């Protein structure tokens, strides 16, 4: 990809200069942006070459098609523009009166047909290759949530690991109070980690609405469909960090749920798996323990920031007309059972999804947090994890 970006940089120069003039007018100063490692280059003009065979093939097929299309374009329009120039009235050209020719019609039906067959052959090979998800070394499930990704290692080394992956770009950067970094909007707290050179089968689904899991450097894009499981695969051939974004409109924060994949060497991956497993053991909360309100609220603030804040906002006021506020909400300060049921089941027909993928401790923490934050005074302020455990039982 780097080599490709090198070419692009030359081509993009003129355009960048044009835009820079406008940029200076608009902002007073444009700050230097660098290519994003594993993401888009500055003013990148072509597909990335990528780090998988599929992506490289796509790059090649695209270039091939571009040449064919360009040739057709030049051929057709050199004829047309020659005619516009040579056969114009102001030059005194007299019109001919031919108006049909079966032979010509047949020729320009058959020739494009043959060209298309020529294009279809490499394309067919690639479709078959892309769809072959068999014999994977590692199977990972990706779940699209509004608005983050969840990963679960299902099969192969690391199986059992699961975590959520959320955007880390600070709101100050988004709202223009802080300078934006080179990885603006394409950085997450927990990237997906995979070993290099292994065939990774991604099993993709969604929890609420459609999302799409896309990583251009892998040549992969697969819609995440709630209630259905679809799969795709990649085999990254180079260690590094690769980035993509959600590609199917999924509501308010569609632009804010990126995908970051870290490709590690076999040893590094092994070390990561061990570290992650230890961490998970240490983090394993005891859902039967009685928690104090302070501990729950402290934990709950984090859970809230990672899961709820996009709609209900940090100040608990929600977004008028779209997402209800939690401040003073009857449901939040009311009966515990109602809040527990809402968190576990969501509210059909609204953006309030089920959050049953969170642990009982996390759910209890966030419930306790909301019952006491922003001046809320619930009568029974503490929800214990065991209340959720009980509510989950059918």
Residues 39-68 close enough to bind another protein by CB under 8 A:
39-48, 54-55, 57-58, 61-62, 65-66
Contacting another protein within 264-293 (CB under 8 A): none
**Cα–Cα dist 131/206, whole Å:** 20
Measured from the CB of residue 81, what is the shortest distance to another protein in angstroms?
A: 9
Instruction: Candidates 230, 270, 317, 356: give the one binding another protein (CB under 8 A).
Output: 230
74 touches another protein by CB under 8 A: no
Identify which of 90, 1, 305 has the alpha carbon closest to the alpha carbon of residue 313.
Answer: 305
Residue 84 token pair: 């516009």
Instruction: Candidates 67, 69, 294, 390: give the one binding another protein (CB under 8 A).
Output: 69
Sign of CA dihedral 225, 238, 5, 258: positive
79 touches another protein by CB under 8 A: yes
Measured from the CB of residue 112, what is the shortest distance to another protein in angstroms?
A: 5
Contacting another protein within 91-150 (CB under 8 A): 93-101, 104-105, 108-109, 112-113, 116, 119-120, 123-124, 126-131
Can you tell me which residue has the tokens 């020739």?
111
Cβ distance to another protein smaller for residue 163 or 233: 233
Angle between helices 293-307 and 360-372 (to 10 degrees): 100
2 touches another protein by CB under 8 A: no
Identify which of 222, 216, 279 has the alpha carbon closest to the alpha carbon of residue 248.
Answer: 222
Evaluate whether 178 touches 170 at the Cβ level (below 8 Å). yes
Measured from the CB of residue 1, what is the shortest distance to another protein in angstroms?
A: 11
Size of the site for another protein (CB under 8 A): 120
Contacting another protein within 349-368 (CB under 8 A): 349-351
Measured from the CB of residue 127, what is the shortest distance to another protein in angstroms?
A: 5
**Cα–Cα dist 220/177, whole Å:** 34
Angle between helices 336-345 and 360-372 (to 10 degrees): 130
260 touches another protein by CB under 8 A: no
Measured from the CB of residue 235, what is the shortest distance to another protein in angstroms?
A: 16
Instruction: Candidates 149, 201, 223, 276: give the one binding another protein (CB under 8 A).
Output: 223
Measured from the CB of residue 286, what is the shortest distance to another protein in angstroms?
A: 31
254 touches another protein by CB under 8 A: yes
Binding mask 154-173 for another protein (x = CB under 8 A): -------------------x
Measured from the CB of residue 317, what is the shortest distance to another protein in angstroms?
A: 14
Evaluate whether 202 touches 234 at the Cβ level (below 8 Å). yes
Measured from the CB of residue 343, what is the shortest distance to another protein in angstroms?
A: 17
Cβ distance to another protein smaller for residue 321 or 375: 321
Contacting another protein within 306-345 (CB under 8 A): 319, 321-322
Contacting another protein within 13-42 (CB under 8 A): 15-16, 18-20, 22-23, 26-27, 33, 35-36, 39-42
Q: Which residues, 6 or more positions from 295, have their beta carbon under 8 angstroms from its beta carbon?
A: none
Measured from the CB of residue 225, what is the shortest distance to another protein in angstroms?
A: 6
CA distances from 186 to 144, 159, 182, 211 (A): 16, 26, 9, 16
Cβ distance to another protein smaller for residue 210 or 301: 210
Strand order in the sheet with 259-264: 192-195, 259-264, 240-244
Instruction: Candidates 10, 89, 281, 290: give the one binding another protein (CB under 8 A).
Output: 89
Strands 192-195 and 259-264, by their bridges, are: parallel
Residue 268 token pair: 């590094």
The DSSP bridge partners found for residue 151 are 142, 163
**Cα–Cα dist 242/262, whole Å:** 6
183 touches another protein by CB under 8 A: yes
Q: Which residues, 6 or more positions from 122, have their beta carbon under 8 angstroms from its beta carbon?
A: 61, 64
Cβ distance to another protein smaller for residue 108 or 298: 108
Measured from the CB of residue 29, what is the shortest distance to another protein in angstroms?
A: 12
Helix (H) / strand (E) containing 128: helix 102-131
Report the SS3 class of residue 241. Answer: strand
Report the SS3 class of residue 159. Answer: coil
């Amino acid at each position: 990809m780097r080599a490709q970006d090198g070419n692009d940089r030359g081509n993009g120069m003129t355009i960048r200069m044009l835009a820079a003039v406008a940029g200076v007018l608009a902002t007073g100063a444009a700050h230097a942006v660098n290519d994003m490692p594993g993401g888009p280059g500055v003013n990148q003009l072509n597909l990335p070459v990528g780090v998988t065979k599929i992506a490289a093939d796509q790059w090649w097929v695209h270039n091939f098609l571009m040449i064919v299309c360009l040739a057709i374009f030049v051929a057709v329009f050199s004829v047309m523009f020659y005619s516009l120039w040579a056969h114009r009235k102001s030059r005194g050209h007299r019109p001919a009166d031919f108006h049909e020719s079966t032979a010509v019609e047949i020729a320009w039906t058959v020739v494009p047909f043959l060209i298309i067959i020529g294009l279809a052959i490499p394309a067919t090979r690639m479709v078959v290759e892309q769809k072959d998800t068999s014999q994977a070394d590692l199977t990972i499930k990706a779940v699209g949530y509004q608005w983050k990704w969840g990963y679960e290692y299902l099969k192969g080394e690391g199986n059992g690991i699961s975590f959520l992956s959320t955007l880390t770009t600070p709101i100050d950067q988004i709202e223009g109070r802080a300078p934006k970094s080179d990885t603006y909007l394409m950085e997450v707290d927990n990237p997906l980690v995979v070993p290099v050179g292994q065939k990774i089968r991604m099993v993709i689904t969604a929890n609420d609405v459609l999302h799409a899991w896309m990583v251009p450097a892998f040549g992969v894009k697969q819609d995440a469909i709630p209630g259905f499981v679809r799969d795709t695969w990649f085999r990254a051939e180079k260690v590094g960090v690769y980035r993509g974004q959600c590609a199917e409109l999924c509501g308010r924060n569609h632009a804010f749920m990126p995908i970051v994949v870290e490709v590690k060497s076999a040893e590094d991956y092994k070390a990561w798996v061990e570290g992650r497993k230890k961490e998970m053991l240490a983090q394993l909360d005891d859902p039967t323990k009685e928690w104090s309100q302070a501990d729950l609220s402290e934990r709950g603030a984090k859970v809230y920031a990672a899961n709820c804040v996009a709609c209900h906002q940090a100040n608990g006021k929600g977004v008028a007309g779209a997402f209800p506020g939690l401040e003073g909400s009857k449901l939040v300060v009311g009966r515990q059972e109602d809040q527990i049921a809402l968190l576990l089941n969501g509210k059909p027909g609204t953006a309030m999804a089920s959050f049953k993928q969170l642990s009982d401790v996390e759910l209890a923490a966030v419930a306790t947090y909301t019952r006491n934050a922003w001046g809320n005074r619930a009568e029974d302020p503490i929800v214990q994890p065991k209340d959720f455990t009980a509510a989950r039982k059918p």
